[in-house]
Amino acid sequence: MICCHETEHYVFHYLENSIAARDIETIAAEQERCYEKICRLLNMKKVADKVGIPMDEKEFHCRGQFKSVHKGRPDELNAAMEAEGG
């Protein structure tokens, strides 16, 4: 059976009775710590403010399309620039 565990920023899928199932709380906590470090390192709030995208300091959402990931989702920055005629 496939199980699901959600955190503030992630959804983890894993097999019941697997090593991941046994350690899911540790895995999830570590990934959330990594998420915070990545956001701080990339200074995403400053970048978003610079292009006029409101963003909470603890959140980062990328709605753009990267190869086959998020296929068909609009890139909000490009859409905003096109709306302004740029």
The domain ranges of the chain are: 1-42, 46-86
Name residue, tokens 């920023």.
Answer: 9
Q: Which residue has the higher pLDDT, 22 or 75?
A: 22
Distance of alpha carbon 46 from alpha carbon 53, whole angstroms: 10
The amino acid occupying position 73 is R
pLDDT tens digits for range 21-58: 999 999 999 999 998 888 787 777 777 788 887 766 55
pLDDT higher than threshold 60 for residue 66: no
Beta-bridged to residue 69, according to DSSP, are 66
pLDDT at 68: 56
In this prediction the pTM is: 0.52
Distance of alpha carbon 20 from alpha carbon 57, whole angstroms: 30
